[in-house]
């Protein structure tokens, strides 16, 4: 039996990439994961059942994103061992680890701080932006060399496949992420919410475009619930904006089930949340770009806005709300974990046989 070791950039948040790794642990029965940093209280509970090996001490793990200048060196010294093959989840770091066995790299996106700098640098100070700009050529060379060492490269979407080709000159195989209901039992949030509302699930970062989702919901005459780290900053219940911050999976499930529509306004590589909502019968209204072109089927599971403006997204909200929840749910079922694991398992066995 092939022993699989998992790897991930760092386990310090609740995000789509972390949820994918949690599904891998369940789907493959993996017991080991290697990461740069781990904060059990900040990420999915599923990781507490695994043997997590982190390179950065717990006391410093909360500052991992501030450690950018040192992370390439730390990643290069992070050893992945103890198995027959490794499956790495990377948005910029895990493919740089030192692998002592064949390894498959599953790319959520080439590192935004190197290849989508305008998005990433919005969050940095002027000094840090200048420093990153100066070091980018050297960092890109090291990044490309690390990716080229992968035994196989997998993209989470066609969008990401094109970005991998542009960044590294490598071809990759597309395997959509696994999507499961976020919880089996739903629990209402501690705060009362209105009967009809839209929901956006995203950390409040520039490329996520949460503000556009808020403006569109308002224009459509809907209250909006924003979920994700940083959404507390836009909390304004009197104006119909409910920024809940991080919530439990059971609470997120409740919100998905009771929302009139889920919004996608950011430049996503895949767009996991619209499928999580689809499994609960909730349609999507999104911009017609990025991963949403693969995760939303117009007229079936959602509606695309005709442009990236609040008014056009508001119009899409109106059309999406009329879709049949049963048909929406059926679309979401196409992306369940079993199909994802079966495809990756075949690829992993091919990698082991070639090694």
CATH architecture of residue range(s) 4-178+336-354: 3-Layer(aba) Sandwich (3.40)
Nearest to 352 by CA among 45, 56, 73, 87: 87
Q: How far apart are CA 53 and CA 4, in angstroms?
A: 15
- Model-level pTM? 0.81
- Intervals of CATH 3.40.50.2000 along the chain: 197-333
DSSP state of 52: E
Of the segments 107-116, 206-215, 343-352, which one has the largest average pLDDT value? 343-352
Q: What is the mean pLDDT of residues 217-221?
A: 96
Mean pLDDT (the chain) is 91
C-alpha radius of gyration, the chain, whole number: 20
Percent pLDDT > 90 in the chain is: 77
Q: 116-168: per-residue pLDDT in tens?
A: 655 544 455 565 555 556 667 778 899 999 999 999 999 999 999 999 999 99
β-strand 152-155 against 103-107: which pairing, if any?
Answer: parallel
- What local confidence, expressed as pLDDT, does residue 244 receive? 94
β-strand 51-54 against 261-264: which pairing, if any?
Answer: unpaired
β-strand 98-99 against 51-54: which pairing, if any?
Answer: unpaired
What homologous superfamily is domain 197-333 in, according to CATH?
A: Glycogen Phosphorylase B; (3.40.50.2000)
- What local confidence, expressed as pLDDT, does residue 134 receive? 61
- Provide the pLDDT confidence category of residue 206 given band limits of 50, 70 and 90: low
For the cut 80, the answer to whether the pLDDT of residue 113 exceeds it is: no
Contacts of residue 93, defined as CB under 8 A and 6 or more positions apart, other chains included, come to 9, 10, 36, 71, 75, 111
For the cut 70, the answer to whether the pLDDT of residue 281 exceeds it is: yes
Q: How far apart are CA 332 and CA 289, in angstroms?
A: 19
Q: 142-153: per-residue pLDDT in tens?
A: 999 999 999 999
H-only helix segments in the chain: 16-28, 71-76, 112-115, 117-120, 126-148, 158-168, 210-219, 249-258, 272-278, 292-295, 310-320, 325-333, 337-354
- Tell me the helices (H) and strands (E) count for the chain, helix number first: 13, 15
Q: 27-79: per-residue pLDDT in tens?
A: 999 999 999 999 999 999 999 999 999 999 988 988 887 787 789 999 999 99
For the cut 90, the answer to whether the pLDDT of residue 311 exceeds it is: yes
């Amino acid at each position: 039996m092939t022993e699989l070791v998992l790897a991930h950039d760092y386990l310090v948040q609740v995000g789509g990439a972390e949820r994918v790794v949690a599904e891998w642990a369940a789907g493959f029965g993996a017991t080991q994961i290697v990461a740069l940093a781990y904060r059990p209280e900040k990420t999915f509970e599923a990781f507490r059942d695994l043997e997590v090996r982190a390179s950065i001490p717990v006391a410093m793990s909360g500052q991992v994103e501030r450690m950018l200048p040192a992370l390439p060196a730390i990643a290069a010294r992070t050893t992945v061992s103890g198995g027959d093959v490794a499956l790495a989840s990377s948005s910029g770091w895990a493919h740089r680890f030192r692998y002592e066995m064949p390894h498959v790299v599953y790319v959520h996106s080439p590192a935004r701080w190197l290849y989508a700098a305008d998005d990433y640098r919005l969050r940095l100070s002027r000094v840090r932006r200048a420093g990153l700009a100066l070091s980018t050529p050297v960092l890109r060379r090291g990044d490309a060399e690390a990716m080229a060492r992968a035994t196989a490269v997998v993209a989470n979407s066609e969008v990401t496949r094109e970005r991998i080709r542009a960044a590294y000159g490598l071809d990759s195989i597309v395997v959509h992420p696994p999507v499961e209901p976020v919880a089996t039992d739903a629990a209402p949030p501690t705060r009362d919410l209105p009967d009809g509302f839209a929901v956006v699930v995203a950390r409040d970062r520039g490329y996520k475009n949460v503000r556009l989702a808020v403006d569109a919901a308002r224009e459509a005459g809907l209250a909006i619930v924003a979920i994700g780290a940083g959404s507390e900053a836009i909390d304004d219940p009197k104006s119909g904006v409910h920024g809940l911050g991080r919530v439990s999976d059971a609470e997120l499930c409740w919100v998905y089930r009771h929302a009139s529509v889920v919004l996608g306004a950011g430049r996503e590589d895949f767009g996991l949340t619209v499928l999580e909502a689809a499994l609960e019968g909730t349609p999507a209204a999104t911009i017609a770009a990025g991963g949403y072109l693969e995760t939303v089927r117009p007229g079936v599971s959602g509606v695309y806005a005709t442009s990236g403006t609040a008014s056009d997204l508001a119009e899409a909200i109106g059309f999406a709300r009329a879709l049949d929840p049963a048909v929406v749910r059926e679309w979401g079922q196409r992306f369940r974990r079993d199909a994802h694991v079966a495809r990756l398992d075949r690829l992993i066995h091919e990698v082991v046989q070639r090694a």
